[in-house]
Amino acid sequence: MLAVAIGYLAIALGLSVLFVSLLLTELSRPRDALWGAIIMLLGLVLITSYESLDGSPMLAVLFSFLIMSRFLVEISQYRWQQLSEEEKISVKTLTRWKNSFKQVFLAGAKFGSIVFEVFKLFKPKPKPSEIGKKWIRSELDDEKRAAISPRPSNEVNIEENSLATDQISSLKPGETSSDAS
C-alpha cells in the first residue's frame, strides 16, 4: 500500500517537474524534462508492481522517495534563491502566468497541427475513376441558346408576377383573398 501511495506521489511530482520547466523557464534547467519523465516512470512501476515489493525492494522504494523529495527541495529553495528580485516579482504576477499558459497553448496547438498533417499523409487516397467522362461545354452564347431553345414552362412572366402582387395588395383590411374574388 505504501508503494502505491508513493507511486501516485511520484507521478504527481514528475508532472509538476514537467510543468515547471514549461511554465516557469526561470526555474527550469536543461535536464528537468528527463528527470520528470524518470520520476513518472518510477511512479508507474511502483503502481503496477506493488504486490512484489516486500522486504528489501521496499527499501529501494523508500530511497527513491527520498531522492524525489531532495529534488523537490532543490527546485523550491535553491533555484528560487538564485532568481533576481525582478524575476521573483514577475513570477508572482498574473500577466506572467497568462503569458506562460498562452505560450504552452500555442505550442500545443502547433504540435497538434503538425500531428494532423502527418496523419493526413498516411490517409489513403481515392482511386481515380475508370470511366473517363469529359464534359463538353457548347460554344453558343446565352442569347443564341435562348433564341434556339424553347422557353421552359416553369418560368413566370414578369407581368403575371406583378398582377398577382397587385391583387394581394388591393385587398381591404379585414378581407381575405377568397372574399376579393
pLDDT digit string (tens) for 118-168?
Answer: 988 888 877 776 676 666 666 655 556 666 655 555 555 555 455 455 555
> Could you report the per-residue pLDDT of 66-111, keeping only the tens digit for each?
887 787 787 678 888 888 888 888 888 888 889 989 998 999 999 9
In a domain, 114, yes or no: no
- pLDDT value of position 21: 80
pLDDT score, position 143: 58
- In a domain? residue 64: yes
Of residues 151 and 18, the one with the higher pLDDT is 18
137 in any annotated domain: no
Residues 25, 48 contacting (CB under 8 angstroms): no
Contacts of 75 (CB under 8 A, 6+ apart): 17, 20, 27
Among the ranges 11-15, 31-35, 115-119, 153-157, which has the highest mean pLDDT value? 115-119
Residue from 40, 46, 41, 75 nearest 62 by CA? 46
Cβ within 8 Å of residue 83, ≥6 positions away:
26, 27, 91
Q: Tell me whether residue 180 is in a domain.
A: no
Judge whether 53 lies within some domain: yes
Instruction: Determine the pLDDT at residue 168.
Output: 52
Rounded to two decimals, the pTM is 0.51
pLDDT at 56 over 60: yes
Does residue 179 have a pLDDT over 70?
A: no
Kindly state whether residue 111 falls inside one of the protein's structural domains.
Answer: no
- Domain of 97? 2-105
Domain-embedded: residue 110: no
Domain count within the chain: 1
Q: Is residue 133 part of a domain?
A: no
